[in-house]
Structure 1
């Protein structure tokens, strides 16, 4: 028991130190609610640039405390219905956005075109608004996510939303008619519960939501996700 208490105390201390290393007003999402699924795709090659994105050196999700509390409330409500949240991205450093801009300007790099932007020419990504020099994610209260459930084998499965996360195309619009009835219903389910808890959707991306009362409305951060 003595060793267990010592280990527990050490874990709490290290968690506190990690939280203290973040700017004031930010937290690791798992410290607020560890039941929320997280898969930071930019800390992998499973994304549109086909490489780990600058500024991502960890799989731990960072977000503003206010947004984390709201997500925790959503998770608790979803769990009562047999569902949950899965986060693909939250706080995003400016250096990551800069990486996207450099990548978009390199027209030779089209490794994941058929997966993420098959309908769009790469030289049109800026023009069509898929890539920009600033992102609301860098303010800390924007999140990319979907809904999940546990199947009969107790494995986490994503609800069918009609497109993958970060798909560059018209089908990603929240109210797109290019997806079927079930997929539209799933998007509405996600949108409704997010807006109920204080988030506003981005109409062009079914997965993208920003806390309405975000604490850093005009401040863009550049610290690493670590």
Structure 2
């Protein structure tokens, strides 16, 4: 693929995303994951490591997020299959994936908006957004009123090094859900190893059709999305 073709592809994806963002997706009437066509990633790739932060208090809100009843990762079937292929590719090289979030219910996104509009809840500011105030989290694109996660095609994850038998987390320069320029995929101030780890993840995900969100090194969306016009609100169980 030529550089011109790559640029055209990125522009096409960006334009499509803008169009979908301007028109809210319909919320599916599905009442459970099976009805929504959502697949638990462990059924396809049991070795993917889970660290589903929103099912615990270890996240930027300081509490378990409504909609997360279990630390599970659901994605639409084509997306889950592609992610399992990424894990298979990486395991063949001695690496693996740690997943932080997958499908996110609409009610969870609404809970994020309630949190960002609550000026009194600042329990995790020093850890996850030390240089920003809450209004900037919206203005700078770290939190949004609608999330691609709710469409079942977006995943947040990092890399594991499994070459010595057990797996350890590779250093990426920030933790998951650190809000600020240091979390941008391409940024200054990282070590060579941290930048190399981020680029290794970009390449591994791109090989199977996932596109990175440049402001968050951990955030990837499968392209083309299987159903960009539909969001889901079934709980994560």
TM, length-normalised to structure 2: 0.83
For 1:149 and 1:205, how far apart are their aligned partners in 2?
Answer: 21
Cα offset for 1:129? 1.9
SS state at 1:206 partner? coil
**Residues 139-183 of structure 1: CA deviation (Å, up to 9, x unaligned):** 00100000112375x543111100001100001111111212111
Aligned pairs for 1:93-112 (under 5 A) are: 93-112=105-124
The aligned residue for residue 49 of structure 1 is: 61
Candidates 195, 200, 214, aligned match of 2:211: 200
- Alpha-carbon distance in structure 2 between the residues aligned to 1:96 and 1:63: 16
- TM-superposition CA deviations, 1:36-80 (whole Å, max 9, x none): 111110000110001000100011211111111111111111111
User: How many aligned positions are there?
Assistant: 206
| Structure 2 gap segments, 5+ residues each | 1-31
**2:205 pairs with 1:212:** no
- Tell me the equivalent position of 1:117: 129
- If asked which structure has higher relative contact order (CA below 8 Å, sep 6+), I would say 2
Do structure 1's residue 187 and structure 2's residue 198 form an aligned pair?
A: yes
More moved, 67-76 vs 120-129: 120-129
- In structure 1, the gaps of 5 or more residues are 1-19
- Distance of aligned partners of 1:130 and 1:21 in 2 relative to their CA distance in 1, 3 Å threshold: closer
Question: Which residue is equivalent to 2:150?
Answer: 138
Aligned residues: CA RMSD: 1.4
TM-score normalised according to structure 1 size? 0.87
